[in-house]
Amino acid sequence: MTIGKWDGLETAAHLKAGEVSAVEVIDAAIERCEQINPEINAFIWTCFEKAREEAARCDVNAGALSGVPYAIKDLGGSAAGEPTSLGNRFFKQKPIVSPIDDNVIARLRSSGLVSIGRTNVPEFASGNCPGASENEAFGDTRNPWNPAHTPMGSSGGSAAAVAAGIVPIAHGNDGGGSIRLPANANGLVGFKVSRGRISLGPAGGHLAEGTATEGVVTRTVRDTAACLDALAGFEPGDPYSCFAFETPLLETIETKGQRLKIGFCRVNELGPIHPDTVDVV
């Protein structure tokens, strides 16, 4: 079985059918990480034994994504007892350790996803962002499609982990393109949700006045829909909120909708657009 080629929902389906165990799935992700991470530097911290223990206890029928491995971006996703370094040399030596899961990680955990580690970011998600995911603390993350190229940022480590087939889903966040740009550079699915769609609490409710949002990068639209179904929703203390989905997104994407008119701009204030890009669009 080529577990690394399955998306999250396909992995979950095999688990629910008893065709593979959660421990086998996690072991496959760990093996792939150990094989390719030295080349692409997507993960800067791992929790393999903890992941194996969670997988061994996992009820694969409990949630839509139960037993599926994922990665957490090392910025914005606080998990209880895990170090957060923000791509910074000081915090690499003295990491921030949250006593609790923040709301986005708590919801991902409730969906049944099992984290195998944390992924690289540009320092504080700024500076050379969104051009790359590199820092002096952990080094450069490389694009799995071509290690001579960047995966972009700031969710570049997460995008590289998914594109490399280590995990099918990875946490990310986006203020000015930090999910969308790495998704584009790595051939993945990623978009920025509306303000208030996903809770930033309990500590980050006013982050950039809500213009920075949490989310995921995946290989398929349906995985992204499943994750957003799990993530969306108001939590007490959130300063912003969105209307609730009338129908789960995972159901919505299977429904034929109205024809849409999609516009795009051929002018970029940052510089000229390459003719090949214009031709493809």
Partner residues linked to 45 by β-bridges: 118
Rounded CA gap, 233 and 8, in Å? 21
pLDDT of res. 204: 73
The pair of three-digit structure tokens given for residue 43, joined into one six-digit string:
């993960």
pLDDT of res. 203: 79
Tally the domains of the chain: 1
At 148-176, the pLDDT tens digits run 999 999 999 999 999 999 999 999 999 98
- Judged against a pLDDT cut of 70, whether residue 127 lies above it is answered with no
pLDDT-derived band at 256, boundaries 50, 70, 90 = confident
pLDDT of res. 29: 99
Question: Domain containing 128: what range?
Answer: 3-280
pLDDT of res. 219: 98
pLDDT of res. 182: 97
pLDDT-derived band at 130, boundaries 50, 70, 90 = low
pLDDT-derived band at 240, boundaries 50, 70, 90 = confident
CATH number of the structural domain spanning residue 9: 3.90.1300.10
Average pLDDT over residues 265-278: 85
More confidently predicted of 236 and 160: 160
pLDDT of res. 55: 98
Average pLDDT over residues 54-71: 97
Residue-averaged pLDDT of the chain: 94
pLDDT of res. 271: 86
Average pLDDT over residues 66-92: 97
Rounded CA gap, 82 and 101, in Å? 9
Kindly list the catalytic residues: 73, 154, 178
- Judged against a pLDDT cut of 60, whether residue 103 lies above it is answered with yes
Closest CA to 84 of 68, 66, 102, 69: 102
pLDDT-derived band at 1, boundaries 50, 70, 90 = low
- Judged against a pLDDT cut of 60, whether residue 259 lies above it is answered with yes
pLDDT-derived band at 12, boundaries 50, 70, 90 = very high
CB neighbours of 94 closer than 8 A, spacing ≥ 6?
none
pLDDT-derived band at 131, boundaries 50, 70, 90 = confident
